[in-house]
Amino acid sequence: MNVSWKAISFTFAVMVFMHGLGCQQPAAPNTPGSDSGEPLQAAAPDKLVSVPPAPTPKPSTSPAESAAPPAIQTPSPAPAPPTAVPVAASQAVTEPVPGPVDVADTAVNLVPNGDFNEWPDGIRVPLEWTHAYGYTLEKMPSTISAYSGTTYDNWKAVEQTWRESDGADSVLRQFGVNVKGLAKDTDYRLSFKAKNPGGVTAVVAVWGIIDEKKSKVERIASPLIQLVQSENFRDYSAVFNSGSFETIRIVTACPKAKFPATVIWDRFELHANAADTSNLLANGSIALWPDGVRLPTEWTHGFGYSVDDIPSQVERYEDGVPLAGFGVLQTWNKPDANDSIFRQFGQTVKNVKPKTLYRVRVKALNLSDKAALVSVWDVSGGENGPVKKLAEPFIQAKPSAEFGFLDYTAVFDSGSASAVRIVTLSQDAGTKVVWAGFELLEVGPAK
């Protein structure tokens, strides 16, 4: 979704047929859906993953890296506010080229109707999703309904309430969705949002479909993810290998709880987990962040400031990041919108093609009630040369503590730039945002 921010930002926020009871759904036995007849049990502790473990690389560090200098010596960027120029006085500023370009994002979610938006009135469950085949309404272990509470931008969400355990039920009867066309022996990342105010022992599992008509399935990762207690929507993510399967089933289950028990589900996504070599940002995933080092590898921030005077603090964040890397928790003690773009948190990317469209993607969890911005600048002339705003306005990360990480994306035209700098900034003290999964991708020639 696009969000305007005064004069500096246009922002772009991102963002089965379910049959009625007893109609055209695959027949499922009353026994658990496994070729071994093995029921889905509560996961052993060593098999539970609330969020994927973030890698903790431990590259060797020099004494200079581990020592605390009196002033921060790593250069870093900073975009400008609506009425002020975020560059040093010695830098010339030229007029900006046109701002963000509206180009469709090609990232495809493999889960059909994973956002539940296709849910016609009068239909019991979202299209493509199935649930409780063969049960009468009175005998269903759980009920499915549209969530009536608050969601971000009126997203649709599913409210599932269990009146008894369905952990040992057939996976073809549990609430779930089939995903077809996967590549064999390939790593995939499953992510979703869930709200679990009652601390229900609920899990999400992935099964391979051998023969759906004969109800033959085989567990791939079951349970894959177990929920934790959360009053707000929380992000979950984990990786599994497809093995020999081209079709899988993603299901929810509640092995045990104090019934009735309710969980809210939203935004199921599945993507191949292969390393994205097309990302032009070095360490854009924030996977490389050695212990004891102030910043993630390749990123810069606060050049020349003392630790006490720096406008914002940057910390490693690991709680519920929906990606393989770390999150960057940035807390502003004071506004930095008027600061030099080479002092704010960010990264410079060289060898940019002129007259080319580039897409910026980032996930952001805004824990405050104030907005933070992402800006892009032409820095072809280096730190002492002229700079130019390539996207004004660009991305605004809105408050989202209640909804978890939000996806933001926008496209800009590089114009004559051969190097760009992507930076974060805020116009308000007290802004607190977790950034994750930065991407800079080439889209194609500009028109």
Q: What DSSP string runs through 145-161?
A: EE--S--GGG---EEEE
pLDDT at 196 over 60: yes
pLDDT at 341 over 50: yes
Each residue's pLDDT tens digit, 225-251: 999 999 999 999 999 999 999 999 999
What pLDDT shows up at residue 215? 80
Mean of pLDDT values over 3-7: 38
Tokens of 363: 């996930």
Q: Among 72-81, 140-149, 358-367, whose mean pLDDT is lowest?
A: 72-81
CA distance 130 to 169: 14
Whole-model pTM over 0.85: no
Q: Among 64-73, 108-117, 127-136, 295-304, whose mean pLDDT is lowest?
A: 64-73
Each residue's pLDDT tens digit, 381-394: 999 999 999 976 58
Mean of pLDDT values over 404-410: 95
Q: What domains can be seen in the chain, in order of their start residue?
A: 70-106+276-445 (2.60.120.260), 108-272 (2.60.120.260)
Report the sign of the C-alpha dihedral through residues 336, 340, 342, 347, in that order. Answer: positive
Q: How far is CA 395 from CA 46, 245, 312, 317, in A?
A: 39, 39, 19, 21
Q: How far is CA 260 from CA 149, 161, 175, in A?
A: 18, 7, 16
Mean pLDDT score across all residues of the chain? 81
Q: Look at residue 66 and give its three-state secondary structure.
A: helix
Mean of pLDDT values over 303-330: 93
What pLDDT shows up at residue 239? 94
Q: How far is CA 70 from the centre of its chain?
A: 36
Contact partners, residue 367, CB within 8 Å, separation at least 6: 401, 432, 433, 434
CA distance 409 to 94: 25
pLDDT top residue among 54 and 423 = 423
Mean of pLDDT values over 84-111: 53
Q: Look at residue 45 and give its three-state secondary structure.
A: helix
Mean of pLDDT values over 88-105: 47
Nearest to 431 by CA among 281, 287, 329: 329
Mean of pLDDT values over 317-331: 92
Cβ contact 372:78 at 8 Å: no
Helix H or strand E segment including 63:
helix 63-66
What pLDDT shows up at residue 447? 83
